[in-house]
Each structure stands twice: as C-alpha cells, then as structure tokens.
Structure 1
Amino acid sequence: MSSLKPLSRSRRLASILGLATALSTASAAAALADAPNVVTSIKPLQSLAASIMEGVGTPSVLIDGAASPHGYSLKPSQASQLQNANLVFWIGESLETSLEKPLSSLAGNADVVELMQAKGLHLVPFRLGNGFGPHVHEGEGGGHDGHDHDEAHAHDAGHDGHHDHEGHDHGAADHDDHGQDHEGGEEGHHHEGTDPHLWLDPENARIMAATMADHLAAADPANAGTYKANFDKLSARLSELEAGIRTELEPVQGKTFVVFHDAYHYFEDRFGLAASGSITLNPESPPGADRIREIQQRIKTDGVVCVFGEPQFEPKLVSVVLEGTDARMATLDPLGTGLTNGPGLYAELLQGIAKTMNTCLSGK
C-alpha cells in the first residue's frame, strides 16, 4: 500500500498563493462581467465615468475624435451601444443636439442621465453683446457682457439629474431651440440661455462625478463601495487640479483674448479670466464679413493678445480674423479631441487649456 508524502512547506505556500490568485482573477472577471454597460456622450464625461468605474468596468464614448457634438451623426455600431446600455450620461440637448432623438428611440431601457440637471451645479448664461452676440446697434440696449454673474446660479434642487424623455420640459429659459435648421446662417441663430460647457469648471465636474457615482451605485449595488471610494479619490485629484491651474494662470489674469466660440465661460469664471469676444456666434455657421470686421476692430481696440481657434473647426478662419492685427494665434480644445480616453483625460484636458493660455497670453 502506497503512502502519500506530505507537501513541503514551500509547496503548500505556493498552492495557497496560486489559489488566492485564481480567486482574485475570477473575482475581477466576475466584476467586469457584471459591470453596468455605461455609454457617455463626450470624452470629458467618459473620463469622469472611467475614474468612478475604475476596477469595475470601462464606459464607452459616442462622440470621439474631432467631431462637433452639436451636429454629430451616430454610426450603426453606436446605435447598438445605446440599445444595450444600462446607463447613459450626457450633458443635454443644448450641447449634444443630435443625440436627443436617438436617446429617446434607442436607449429606452437605459437610465439616461442629463448631467446639466444635476443638483448644485454652478451655471452661467451664454454671453450676449459686447463681442459675444449680435451687433447691438445704437438705441437697442446694452446687452449682457457675460461677467455680471448675478444670473449664474446653482441649479434647482428639485432635479435629480435623471432625464425623463416622456414629458420632460426643458423650458425656454434654459435652452434655445437647437433643433431648428441652421442653414439661415449665424445672423439668424445665436446661442441663448444656459451655457452647456459646464465640465470646464472642475467644481462642476465634481458634482457631475458625484451624480454618476450615485446612479452607478443604484444600478450596481454590489460595487457601490468601489464607486464611492473612486469618487473620493477623484474629488481629491480635482482639488489638486484646480489649485495647480490657478497657479498656472495667475500671471496672465487681465490679459485680453478672443475665443472661437463662447465655450470657455465656466473655465474663465473659475480661474479669473475674461475673453473679449468670440469669432462666431454659432459654431455650426461661419461668421459673415461684417462679423469678422467687428471682431478685428475689437482685437485692435481691446488690445487683444491672443485669438484661440479649435480643432473641430476650420483654422483658416482664425487666420483671416488675425489679418492686420498684432494678436497671436493658438488652439484650445474643450473636448480633448487628441487625448487618450480614460481616467487621466479630464485633468490632461484642463491642464492643456491652462498651459496653452499661459503660453499664448504671456508671449512665451
């Protein structure tokens, strides 16, 4: 009769370690398999969601690359993503105008979260007049210069961030009718109401991330602790990010600049900057000759140091605006077009905007 020899101590330890590794791998695989199917509209939101979901799953993004969110057309594969989604995070119809109908028709089984409705956001209006709106003729009134923030407000606490597509009334006060045809040109359409580029304020990013964490925890209670822990880590990083950008931009506060379109109000407001105007009133319609002349004159009279274009739009237009002026040209990217998706994109995006502004405005 044969006898079994006891395993040596080293072999027993190896067996235990191997079993622990196998269990850990199986647990991680199970977590990924059970993770909610999360779809985000734009890259900055994908980055925030990826930070919250780190270690559990990876959210996808619809509007990638250099496409503008205002007029994006979904690919068939992306329509399938929406159909299979458990959660969808977007800003709202005033930004991702083209997504409103697909979200209603394709994402019927998903929790569609309009982050512009999150509680506690600092919201600012689109700026009108004084370089940001239709030319105000003498006797027509002064318009809004965009820097009196009495109109800026924390959003109505009655909203929880969930977008009910069956009867949710956006209200004329918040959103212009962005579903109308833009072929009439810039003179026939300009942005009004609440500015939707709210992710460019890191405090708003924190609030949106908290909303994401809440909805993820509700959809996936088993990983609620991970979502909460990840949010706490992200919140700390956002505080560090804000402090670093404030230091970066302090030397160029008071310098004048013009942006391609009014997309940076939140960033300016948070970090003490103030654009003199925008080249275009509606980014989907090129400015006419009168508008270009008006901005060229503003560049001269305001002593504008820098004019910022965007990668989503034709750079030649900025060159035309700069003709006959001493202003420099640089490119700001509010969407993170060329950046790699993931948890690090959001910080990289805001740091890139700050560095570009510092470099151009200081003449480095």
Structure 2
Amino acid sequence: MHITIVLCVLMLSSVAFASDIPRVVVSIKPLHSLLAGLMRGVADPVLLVDGNTVPWEFHPDAAQAKAIEHADVMVWSGPELEPGLAAALAKDRPHGRVFEVLASEALKVLPARGDEAKHDPFFWLDSRNMLILLDSFAELMIDMDPERASTYERNWQRMAESLSVIDRVMEFGYRDVSGAPVFFYHDTHQYFEQAYAMHVAGSVVDVNEGESTDTARLLMTHGKVLAAGGSCVFTEKGLREPNLDLLIDGTEAEVVELDSLGTGLAGGADLYVDLMRNNFAAISGCVRKLKPPSEVSDAFEPPDVSRSPDRLRPRYVMMDQYGRTVSQDDFKGKLQLIYFGYTSCPDICPTSLAVMARALKMLGA
C-alpha cells in the first residue's frame, strides 16, 4: 500500500511539473526557428504559418485560435506582415504574454521603401536582428520558466554561436553580393541590402501592399533590367509573380529563386541558418557571374571570434581593413582612426566609411 501511494504521488508530481512547461505559439518559420532552438529538450513551440500560405494572407483556423488563446507566450511579427493575425489578436487576446517583434525598440526596424509611415516587415534578413531577438527570447523564457534556466542558457549559447558564424560568413563574403545591380520581383531584401552592401536597383511588388502590381513601376523596372545588360532577377518561393515574363522580356537577366520565408524548408531550430545560407549562396552565385574575374573574391574563412557565453561581457577583437587582427603595439607611433561597431568586415563597410568620413571632416581633414 505504501508503494502504491508513493507511485501515485510521483505520477501526480510529474504531471504537475509537465503542465508548467510554457505553451509557446509562434507566427512564422524564422521566428519559430529561434524558439525551437531555445526550447530544445523542453517542448516544441507551435508554428502557425507553416508554408501553405503566406503570412499576409494567414487567418487562424479554430484549432489555431484555441492555441493562441491558451498560449503562455505568443510571438508574432506585427500587423505589417500578419494583418490577419493582428485582427485575431485584437478580437481574442491570449491570456499570456504577447511579443510583437516589429514593436521592439531593440531591433533595427527599417521603414518600408517609399512609405516611411510603414515598417519593412522582413527584419530577419539581417542576422544581427535575429541575434538580438535570440537574447530577448532567452530572457523571456528564463523569466517564464526559471526552473529550466540552465537548459535555456545552454540552448542559447548553441544557437548564438550558430547565428554568429553565419553572420560572419556573410559579412566577410559581402563582396560576393555587392558591386553589381540586382533586381527583385518582390521587395523583400532591404535589410539584407543594408547589412551586406548589396545594390538593389529595382523591384516590382511590395508584399505589404497585398502583392498588387503597379503597371508604371513594372515597366520602369523592366527598363532598368533591359539597360543593365546581364543582371540577376530574384523571385521568392511561394510568392506569385504573374508578370515575370514581361519583366525579363528581351533582357539578359538570370532568374534565381530565393526562399526568404522558409517555405520549402522543414521547420525547426536549423531552419533560419539554412535559410540565410541558401539565400546568400543563391545571390552570390548569380552576382559573381556578372563580375570580371579580377573582382571575384576567393573563398574566405572568417576568423574564429565565437560569441561569448556571457551576454553581459562579450569579447571584442580589433581588426584592420584587411581582416587582420591588430593589437595596441601596432598603434605606437602612428595616427589611427578607430571605428567601433558590431560589424566585422574585412574591408571598409559602407556604414563604417560614412562614419569615418564624418569623423575626418570634424577633425578638419
């Protein structure tokens, strides 16, 4: 009898412990990837937009609405990307916490091109935004579930290292996506363009306008593609491009498909890094063909500057414009202009160049 009572107590305790696991619901695959990585070994967050529809056309069904209502944490992008979800949240707000990414003051949120009153919703195409979000999500999960803090910290470290590596690979390889004008059917890559110095010369459709096509804009972009000679035109997997043939008619453009929403990728912790790696390879593969051999960079392995496991005390490395590590001894007897930033370009990055130019002007140079 004593054994039976003990077993019953253990079973009840186990059920109670399991019920304390936060129920996390996430809107899109890139965000879900971060949460899935942080919750590895704890639970699987619920994904709403699984690739069968696009975020701006998504409306939760009855089962999804119930999951949202009972969520302890609801993570979504914002009304700019998910208007249908915004309406659902306004009608039936979850009983738990709601994290609206585009409302976060910690992120770099760009205005929509041509309409500064709106946000560009493709924030995840700058991997530094995702590193910031990873920290925010880790703090959120630890606050919600302190008993598993060590698990979240361990998973955070693994994810942070993975994201930092892909960011450095793209940062050091930025010359492979820059130096030649490229075109997008859907205007999805403003964040990527700014982060990695890519030159987007034109696009046809703004997705936050419902993918509607403006004829004048289409014809103007076609003229630019025609004038460019050889060029790259990027489309997005899962999105409609009914006027693609007209856009490239009579041009020498190469059409390359990207997958910025992760439509063709299996959801999970590895999705975001795979998405960025695949997109970068597709973009650079086309851009490199447009350049003379002398301007095509060799394969480059970035230095191992692993992200510190202590978020409050990150490590820093000083490098010159060629990516070589320097020390204080290198500064002796020389006039140096030192720029502090979060980038790690082996060359002078566009943002760094602008800051340096302003500093020199202030110094009277």
Match of 2:98 among 112, 137, 159: 112
Paired position in structure 1 for 2:84: 98
Contact conserved, 2:76 with 2:101, CA < 8 A, in 1? yes
Contact conserved, 1:318 with 1:329, CA < 8 A, in 2? no
Contact conserved, 1:248 with 1:355, CA < 8 A, in 2? no
Paired position in structure 2 for 1:342: 268
Distance 1:27 1:330 in 2: 55
Match of 2:150 among 225, 231, 252: 225
**TM-score calculated relative to the size of structure 1:** 0.71
Paired position in structure 2 for 1:165: none
Unaligned runs of 5+ in 2: 1-11, 291-365
Paired position in structure 1 for 2:236: 310
Paired position in structure 2 for 1:16: none
Match of 1:295 among 205, 221, 241: 221
Contact conserved, 1:256 with 1:304, CA < 8 A, in 2? no
Instruction: Establish whether residue 238 from structure 1 lines up as the match of residue 163 from structure 2.
Output: yes
Distance 1:31 1:260 in 2: 50
Aligned runs of 1:115-130 on 2, under 5 Å?
A: 115-128=101-114
Match of 2:24 among 13, 38, 63: 38
Change (3 A) 1:252 1:285: closer
User: How far off is 1:247 after superposition?
Assistant: 4.2
Contact conserved, 2:226 with 2:250, CA < 8 A, in 1? no
Contact conserved, 1:268 with 1:274, CA < 8 A, in 2? yes
Deviations 1:93-126 (A, max 9, x none): 1111111121233343021111223342122222
Three-state SS of the structure 1 residue aligned to 2:255 is strand
Three-state SS of the structure 1 residue aligned to 2:243 is helix
Three-state SS of the structure 1 residue aligned to 2:183 is strand
Deviations 1:338-359 (A, max 9, x none): 1011110010010111011012
Distance 1:304 1:105 in 2: 50
User: How far off is 1:63 after superposition?
Assistant: 0.8
Greater relative contact order structure (CA < 8 Å, 6+ sep): 1
Match of 1:84 among 70, 75, 87: 70
Distance 1:332 1:31 in 2: 43
Aligned residues: 279
Change (3 A) 1:102 1:323: same
Paired position in structure 2 for 1:49: 35
Distance 1:211 1:106 in 2: 25
User: How far off is 1:81 after superposition?
Assistant: 1.1
User: How far off is 1:305 after superposition?
Assistant: 0.9
Change (3 A) 1:28 1:295: farther
Residue identity opposite 2:171 in structure 1: R
Distance 1:205 1:281 in 2: 22
Three-state SS of the structure 2 residue aligned to 1:275 is strand
Distance 1:94 1:76 in 2: 23
User: How far off is 1:28 after superposition?
Assistant: 9.8
Contact conserved, 2:229 with 2:251, CA < 8 A, in 1? no
Contact conserved, 1:65 with 1:338, CA < 8 A, in 2? yes
